[in-house]
Amino acid sequence: MGFELLPLLTDTEDSYLLIYTTGFLKGKVVITDLEATAFIPSFKSIQSFLEVYFRNTDATTLAYIDWNCDYDVDMPSDEPEILRECWKYIKADNFVSEAQKVMICCMAIYLTPLEQRDSLFYFLQSPFIDDESETTETIVWEAINSFTGDNPYPSAKPVIAALFEAEKFNDYPYKDIIFDGEFKEKGFKVFWRENQFWLVILLLSLLLFISRFFW
């Protein structure tokens, strides 16, 4: 992935606690599982993790502790030096793997102050969205989350609307609820999507029935 991670402990649910030992994320703590492909930090330091751990001594899994992580798209963490390092990689497109790309781009999203969110339009427009890799969707969705969560950013609406016009990003999971349901599909559009197969069968049957009168 480009940076080294040291495993520290695991739990009964096969979640793992790891710590970055190299790179500009050195000291950051990750909570993840065996299926993880990108190791996005959960805590700023081992001290930060322990503070949360000792406040939740009844927790039986690492995933429970991860709910209280330091990095939240709705409450950006104030780490300008780390943010600058992330953007150096992003602007240079200097990633050793797709996993590293997801991790660094998502960190940039989590660390960007609310008043600087215009910089995150980078992840919602060309050339970034033109990348056909599977990880692009993950990053785009996190960027959308940053504009639509607890602190909605109305200026992002036209950019997000343009994204949803593309089939690639149209299945964003929270589309129906962001901006008070403004992007929720209504009427025939929803009916067609949910019943497309049977409607096509019905149409073909109808055409076959009508054709009998002309042959």
Q: What is the pLDDT of residue 142?
A: 92
DSSP string, the chain: --S-EEEEEE-TTSEEEEEE-SSTTTT-EEEEETT-SS---SBSSHHHHHHHHHH-TT--SHHHHHTT-S-BTTB----HHHHHHHHHHHHHT--SSHHHHHHHHHHHHHHS-GGGGGGGGGGGSTTGGG--STHHHHHHHHHHHHHHSSS--GGGHHHHHHHHTSGGGTT-TTTTTGGGGTT---THHHHHHHHHHHHHHHHHHHHHHHHGGG-
Length of the chain: 215
CA–CA dist 31, 49 (Å, integer):
10
* Single-letter code of the amino acid located at 165: E
Q: What is the pLDDT of residue 181?
A: 81
Q: What is the pLDDT of residue 6?
A: 94
CA distances from 43 to 56, 61, 183, 206 (A): 15, 16, 33, 60
Q: What is the pLDDT of residue 36?
A: 77
Q: What is the pLDDT of residue 188?
A: 47
- Please state whether the peptide bond connecting residue 158 to the residue before it is cis, i.e. omega within 30 degrees of 0: no
Q: Going by C-beta distance under 8 Å and a sequence separation of 6 or more, which residues neighbour residue 208? A: none
CA–CA dist 98, 3 (Å, integer):
13
Per-residue pLDDT of the chain (215 residues; tens, 9 = 90+): 678 999 999 998 899 999 999 999 999 999 998 777 789 999 999 999 999 999 988 888 999 999 899 988 778 888 999 999 999 999 999 899 999 999 999 999 999 999 999 999 999 999 999 988 888 999 999 999 999 988 899 999 999 999 888 878 888 888 888 887 877 776 545 555 566 777 677 777 777 767 766 65
CA distances from 177 to 89, 123, 141, 181, 206 (A): 33, 21, 14, 4, 37
Closest CA to 135 of 167, 163, 97, 86: 97
